[in-house]
Amino acid sequence: MFQRHKSPPFTLPEDKALIHSTLISDIKGIDDGVNALTAYKGGLVNELPIGADIAAIHIANRKGYADANLRASPFNAADSTAIVEYTANSVGVDIPASVEVLKSKYDTFVDQKIVILAGLKLLKNDYDTFSAALVSKISADQTNGLAAVAVIDDALQSAIDLYSS
């Protein structure tokens, strides 16, 4: 009779293979998307680009979330600090700035209010889950990491509050 052949079990890549620069690259992808979204001018013709920009940020964020969750152990102190510093100096600056632009253009975007609100809620959920996964992998500079998380969270929530009214 036939013998059953057992396949080797599926294994994830070596934990150390996920280096800090992978997450920095993921954060850069989010930052690039945020900067593209900030350039949005409003209007019917431009409605598709805002959806595409939100989708691009969402995809970049989910990649970062997946990558952070692949890492089983915390990064060493130097890598943790590099991740925190990059986050604070990129998305930690650009997301709040983008949100302020979005809030200042509320009257321009009133016709796209539902789309923008849905996008903000999606991105906040993405951000909350990715930042939680990322912070859990940081072994040093926790205070600055949590401060960067709070700045971004507060900015996103302020825009959600405005567009919910």
The answer to whether residue 38 sits within a structural domain is yes
The residue among 23 and 52 whose pLDDT is bigger is 23
pLDDT tens column, 51-109: 788 899 999 999 999 999 999 899 999 999 999 999 999 999 999 999 998 899 899 88
The answer to whether residue 11 sits within a structural domain is no
Cα–Cα nearest to 31, from 95, 118, 109, 121: 95
The answer to whether residue 82 sits within a structural domain is yes
Radius of gyration of the chain (CA): 19
The length of the chain in residues reads: 165
The answer to whether residue 89 sits within a structural domain is yes
Distance between CA atoms of residues 99 and 124, nearest Å: 12
How many domains in the chain? 1
Global pTM reads 0.82
* Domain limits for position 151: 18-164
The answer to whether residue 9 sits within a structural domain is no
Give the model's pLDDT for residue 45.
44
